[in-house]
Every structure is written in C-alpha cells, then in structure tokens.
Amino acid sequence: MIKSVITPCLWFDHQAEQAANFYISVFKNSTIDHISHYGKEGFEIHGQQEGTVMGIRFRLDGQPFSAINGGPIFRFNEAISFQVYCDTQEEIDYYWNKLTAQGEEVQCGWLKDQFGVSWQVVPTILEELLNDSSRADRVTKAFLQMKKFDIEKLKSA
C-alpha cells in the first residue's frame, strides 16, 4: 500500500506496465509494488479485455507512482514534468541517455521519453549558479543554448 500524501498517477493508453518496467530499469532502488487487472465487470464502460493490466503501483528511488491503462482518451504534455536532480555530469549523461532513448530531446534540460512523459534532468548546482547575481544572466544565456545540461559550461559562464 502506498502511504505517501501525494502520488503522481500516469494515464497510459495500454503501456502502463511497459512504462513502469522501463522506469524501474532506469532509476536505482525502484520496485513494482502491485499490478491489478481488468475483470469481466465494466467492459461496456472501460472497453478493456479481461485480464489486461488496469493499474500498477511502483516506486522510483522511493518515490511512489501509480499508472493506469485507461485508453487513448488523454495524452501527456509538457505542462507536467518530473525533475531529476543530478550532482555530476555522469549522472546527467546517464539519465539523459536512458530517458531520451526512443524519445526526444527538448531545450534547457527537458526531454520526452518514449511514452511522451516530460522530464527535466537538472544539475543540482544550477540553483546556486542562478542565485549568484553576478553570474545569473551568463548562466541563463548558457543554458538557454543547451538541450542536455553541461555542468562545466554552466560553471564557466
């Protein structure tokens, strides 16, 4: 049972289990906690075949998530994204490469994964650099030209 006050719920057409398995392969200390399946009841409403995955609860590095296979009614967009904070360039490269595989690179550390979910892969030092009023403009100019963040270029800005 998930005991978090807030748990993001992701609506998929039919890829909830595939997505959860992908995400737990990317993030350390991750697990699938529960999978539920559609039964006979409600077919006239949900239209899903009996036995197919209805919902899945999983954790990514301890953060609880849930996902449902609700059909093609809703699609992901950039209005919601998940931030992944990284201490090193190696971490940024790892998450960027994993999450953009079959996905798409966007601007300023943003990307969309193969399922259309938006992520931001962000260096933890960025906030400190932006809070330095003598550097903030140069750092902003530098990162606006990046897709994947480059920590050394941000530091040298």
Q: Tell me, what CATH number does 129's domain have?
A: 3.10.180.10
Termini Cα distance of the chain: 46
**pTM confidence score:** 0.91
Choose one of 69, 97, 121: the last residue of a domain: 69
Res 82: pLDDT = 98
Least confident of 20-29, 33-42, 54-63: 33-42
The pLDDT of residue 3: 64
Angstrom distance (rounded) from CA 120 to CA 146? 13
Give residue 4's pLDDT.
66
If asked whether residues 92 and 41 sit together in one domain, one would say: no
Sheet holding 9-12, edge to edge: 9-12, 63-69, 53-60, 31-37
| Residue 54 placed within a domain | yes
Host domain of residue 53: 9-69
Torsion of CA 86, 63, 61, 95, to 10 degrees: -40
13 and 56 fall within a common domain: yes
* Same-domain status, 56 and 118: no
* CATH code assigned at 19: 3.30.720.100
One domain for residues 85 and 143: yes
What does the DSSP 8-state code read for residue 136? Answer: H
Residues 151 and 91 both lie in one domain: yes
| pLDDT category of residue 5 using cuts at 50, 70 and 90 | confident
| Alpha carbon distances (Å) from 137 to 44, 65, 76, 109, 127 | 57, 36, 32, 17, 13
Q: How many domains does the chain have?
A: 2
Domain identity same for 89 and 120: yes
Q: What is the pLDDT of residues 33-44, one digit of tens each?
A: 999 999 988 888
In a domain, 74, yes or no: no
Tens of pLDDT along 79-127?
999 999 999 999 999 999 999 999 999 999 999 999 999 999 999 999 9
Q: What gap in Å lies between CA 151 and CA 148, rounded to an integer?
A: 10
pLDDT of residue 108: 95
**Least trusted range by pLDDT, from 2-6, 13-17, 150-154:** 2-6
Does any domain span residue 112? yes
